[in-house]
Structure 1
């Protein structure tokens, strides 16, 4: 937990381990299924489901942006923990790989739609949303 009560600690973990940690944050903005949520120090405790989107962490007049692919966020005692299906820092996103994933997802979506396979269609839609999210985050100024 951050010692200064005007800051919060942010930790982002995935099944592969911790991908982000910062204990000098002034604000974190996450995209929940209920909408965007800004969290500052001393926010009320919460748990919320995340959608495929982004997390922005502000600290020392700088910010980090990460692509978050679902999961949940928990906040209490000035510790914000994001448990994500996957997460990548903006600068670590391989845009060529994301574009390839997008093309594959579009192809799979077309096949699933043609075959009227609802399960495959749902999987392809999620893969497409994830690829588009990664591309959008990487290309954001």
Structure 2
């Protein structure tokens, strides 16, 4: 069937670099499935999980990465994801993600109750989406 390389890079460095046989990502244009020899493409990514199905030589398992926005580029059997931030399922600190979720929910609740314009509701909502995404990916490893 063939394979391709998946690279996920953040400002902190390379987060993921492996061969894969299939990848699923959520772009702003919709869900994207990638197989070997995919047509060239560049698209902005949503805050969501990326599923990477590894080759049989690598055990054939799926890896999950929590990606917080960025872009995906597909070219010459290489999928490059340049993300604002990203974490593999093994590297997610679940207690930290749960705390971030609780803080974001509290800020959203306070902003709605008090109509406080000092609280940036948009930032709190994005923080909540990121925390939930990280928790969802962390739960994939269990």
Q: Same fold (TM over 0.5)?
A: yes
Out of 49, 58, 62, the position equivalent to 2:44 is: 49
Equivalent position of 1:120 in the other structure: 120
* TM-score calculated relative to the size of structure 1: 0.89
* TM-score calculated relative to the size of structure 2: 0.89
Aligned residues: 136
Q: Which portions of structure 1, spanning 4 or more consecutive aligned residues, are displaced by more than 4 angstroms? A: none
In the alignment, structure 2 segments of 5+ residues that lack a partner are none
Equivalent position of 1:95 in the other structure: 94
What is the rounded CA distance, in whole Å, between the counterparts of 2:119 and 2:42 in structure 1? 29
In the alignment, structure 1 segments of 5+ residues that lack a partner are none
1:28 aligns with 2:27: no
Equivalent position of 2:78 in the other structure: 79
Equivalent position of 1:17 in the other structure: 13
Q: What RMSD, in angstroms, separates the aligned Cα atoms of the two structures? A: 1.7
Following superposition, the deviation at residue 36 of structure 1 comes to 1.4
Specify the SS of the correspondent of 1:88.
Answer: strand
After superposition, give the CA deviation of every residue in 1:27-54 in whole Å (9 maximum; x if it has no partner).
1111112221111111110011111111
Structure 2 CA distance for partners of 1:135 and 1:42, relative to 1, 3 Å: same
